[in-house]
Amino acid sequence: MAATLGVGVAGPGWVAGEYIKAFIQNPHTEVRALYGRNEERARAKAAEMGVKAEIFTDYDQMLARDDIDIVAIATPPHVHAREAIAAAQAGKHILLEKAIATTIEDGRAIRDAVAKAGVKSVVSFVLRWNPLFEIIKAQLADGAIGRLIMSEVDYFHGIGPWYKQFEWSKGKKGGVSSLLSAGCHAVDAVRWFMGGEITEVFQYATHGGKPPFDQYEFNATTCTICRFEDGRIAKTTSCLECIQPYVFNINLVGTDGSIRNNNIYSKPKYPGQTHWATVPTILPDSGDVTHHPFQPEVDHFVDCIQQNKESHCNIADALKSHEVCFAADRSGETGQPVKLPLP
């Protein structure tokens, strides 16, 4: 039987708790350490989760433990570069929350450090493990709607003081932009479903400015058009100031049919079809962190480590989704289309 993998978790917040739950449930891992700048908060999180983890207020001291194989980094994005690079240099496998970094340069530095160290990594674009995403990927692979020619994926989530990430995500230092703060899930979904490389983006950005959303230091609402290398197109909206229930909209148009969320219209699969066919499944329809599929993400990552294989959502791949976000935000600021890859 494979040896148990020791886990150290960085950050005692809401998302960290979901990682801890998932690692507790995985039979091959044990949470052995928890890092937080505030010792009292870190101890409270460990007690809440029922783990007998050693508490650290010095991140490098946690990395120095020989029995820590995996580091789950669930701290604010502006400290990810230092923490992820240090973890790679210490030989730890890395589970990294999005946004992976607040600049493209830091993202590339993390990617290079991970490659040099030869450690495994996964970035928490957690919706890739949502059941609807898995169903759509299977439908696409089966040719249900032919060749994808256009997609739109939209993220609508009013994030204000009632949401735990608001305090750090509302600023340019922590959240950076509407896309980097949260809408990057929609950008990653576009890449995940469409395949291929995005070569140009154009963004319009605006801000309603009504309290409490006036606290955002960037445009809370953006709409980005993407062009792929083969001429296909995509659109993604990120809105953090909407007054409505959470909506993660998926609309995929193919040469032989379409997929709209959990509805499919497929001429090849359903001859004579006259209306949408609905697949009853779990949807990405909540901004509540506890609704997200952290367990299959963690199980996938542990399997990658044990089987010595790369995740489809490793840092190198996830950086491409982030690069689209950085390019789109640059377009929103300049009013000009931006080509990828960025210089």
Task: State both tokens at 119.
Answer: 């450690």
The structural domains of the chain, ordered by start, are: 5-126+294-312 (3.40.50.720), 128-291+321-339 (3.30.360.10)
Query: What is the phi-psi region of residue 59: left when phi exceeds 0, alpha when psi lies from -120 to 50, beta otherwise?
Result: alpha
Distance CA 86, CA 90 (A): 6
* pLDDT tens per residue across span 57-114: 999 999 999 999 999 999 999 999 999 999 999 999 999 999 999 999 999 999 999 9
CB 323 within 8 A of CB 100: no
In this prediction, residue 2 has a pLDDT band, given cuts at 50, 70 and 90, of: low
pLDDT digits (tens, 9 = 90+) for 203-251: 999 999 999 999 999 999 999 999 999 999 999 999 999 999 999 999 9
